[in-house]
């Protein structure tokens, strides 16, 4: 079953703007991860936030986690055309090892 | 960082033939490997999880006799799509984890087209 659900499904912005994507999940988690996928390519791990963390930064990425609302957000600041990709949140299923992916947000950044 | 490769990157085959896809962890020992399938504009769906030296665990709805998985070493797992049909055409992605299981490292994917 789908654990993570991202919104919006698609987002189109101009270079320099910020992009915010949200992810909701249903069950308790130990951590939540965000991945990026360029068209027709594999996934790149962006950031992992643990259940006891509320916010995490990595370069132009900022991730928040609200376990009371079972939601997370990914903010990309000062977006670039190269940020154009699909972004997925993923949560570990029962146990630790398997990941369940959300449906993803397709981000298009226009020059 | 950890690198995972897949081979081939693209394969086109005739209906009824079998196709083998390799997944290798290049610079770490992968105790667990995962195989995903992704249809166009959709998310990744986990097909199976394999631990080195043991039988793979398949997700519900995935036919283990059709999608044969072998994880014979700590650096190699293979997925064989047997008697492939056009509906098996998809993007197959593997991932590997080793040591800490919090992070999976993904391969670049294999595009399978069955004619």
Please write the tens of the pLDDT for every residue from B38-89.
Answer: 998 888 999 999 988 888 999 999 999 999 999 888 999 999 999 999 999 9
- Rounded-to-integer distance, Cα B25 and Cα B71, Å: 12
B19 pLDDT above the threshold of 70: yes
Q: Do A96 and B42 touch (CB under 8 A)?
A: no
**Cβ separation of A48 and B103 shorter than 8 Å?**
yes
**3-state SS track over chain A:** CCCCEEECCEEEEECCCCEEEEEECCCCCCEEEEEEECCCCCEEEEEEEECCCCEEEECCEEEEEECCCCEEEEEECCCCHHHCEEEEEEEECCCCCCEEECCCEEEEEEC
> Which residues on chain A are in Cβ contact (under 8 Å) with B106?
35, 42-45
Nearest by CB: A97 against B4, B42, B97: B97
Q: What is the pLDDT of residue A1?
A: 32
Give the B-side interface with A, CB within 8 Å. 4, 6, 32, 34, 41-46, 49, 91, 93, 95, 97, 101-109, 111
What does each of the 111 residues of chain A score in pLDDT, given as a tens digit? 335 677 888 999 999 999 999 999 988 888 899 999 998 888 998 999 999 999 999 999 999 999 999 999 999 999 999 999 999 999 987 555 678 888 899 999 999
- Percent of chain B having pLDDT more than 90? 70
Q: Which of A39, A40, A42 to substitute to test the interface with B, most B CBs within 10 Å?
A: A42
Which of B84, B90, B23 has the alpha carbon at shortest distance from B50? B23
Joined tokens for residue B103: 């992070």
CB A96 to CB B101 under 8 A? yes
Give the whole-angstrom CA distance, residue B91 versus residue B11.
Answer: 10
Q: Is A94 on the interface with B (CB under 8 A)?
A: no
Residue A87: its chain B contacts at CB < 8 A?
none
Q: Supply the mean pLDDT for chain B.
A: 91
pLDDT (average), residues B80-105: 87
* pLDDT band at B99; cut points 50, 70, 90: low
Please answer yes or no on whether A42 and B93 come within 8 Å at the CB atom.
Answer: yes
> What's the burial of A64, exposed, middle or buried (CB within 10 Å: 0-12/13-18/19+)?
middle
Nearest beta carbon to residue A103 from set B43, B49, B97: B43
pLDDT at B98 over 50: yes
Kindly determine whether residue A88 and residue B32, on different chains, have CB atoms separated by under 8 Å.
no
Contact B15, A75 (CB under 8 A): no
Spatial neighbors of B36 by CB under 8 A, at least 6 apart, are: B44, B45, B46, B47, B92, B93, B94, B95
Contact (Cβ atoms closer than 8 angstroms) between residue B115 and residue A110 = no
């Amino acid at each position: 079953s789908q654990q993570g659900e991202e919104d919006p499904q698609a987002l189109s912005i101009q270079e320099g703007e910020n992009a915010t994507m949200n992810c909701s999940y249903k069950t308790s988690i130990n951590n939540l991860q965000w991945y990026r996928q360029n068209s027709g390519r594999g996934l790149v791990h962006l950031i992992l936030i643990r259940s006891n963390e509320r916010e995490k930064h990595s370069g132009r990425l900022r991730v928040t986690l609200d376990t009371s609302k079972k939601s997370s957000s990914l903010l990309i600041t000062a977006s670039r055309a190269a940020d154009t990709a699909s972004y997925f949140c993923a949560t570990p299923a029962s146990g630790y090892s398997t990941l369940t992916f959300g449906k993803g947000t397709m981000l298009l950044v226009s020059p | 960082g950890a690198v995972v490769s897949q081979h081939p990157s693209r394969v086109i085959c005739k209906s009824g033939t079998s196709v083998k896809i390799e997944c290798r962890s290049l610079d770490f020992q992968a105790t667990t490997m995962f195989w995903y399938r992704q249809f166009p504009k959709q998310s990744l769906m986990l097909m199976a999880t394999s631990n080195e030296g043991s039988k793979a665990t398949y997700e519900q709805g995935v036919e283990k006799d059709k999608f044969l998985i072998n994880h014979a070493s700590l650096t190699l797992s293979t997925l064989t799509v047997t008697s492939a049909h056009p509906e098996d055409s998809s993007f197959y992605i593997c991932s590997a984890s080793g040591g800490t299981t919090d992070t999976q490292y993904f391969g670049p994917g294999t595009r399978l087209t069955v004619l």
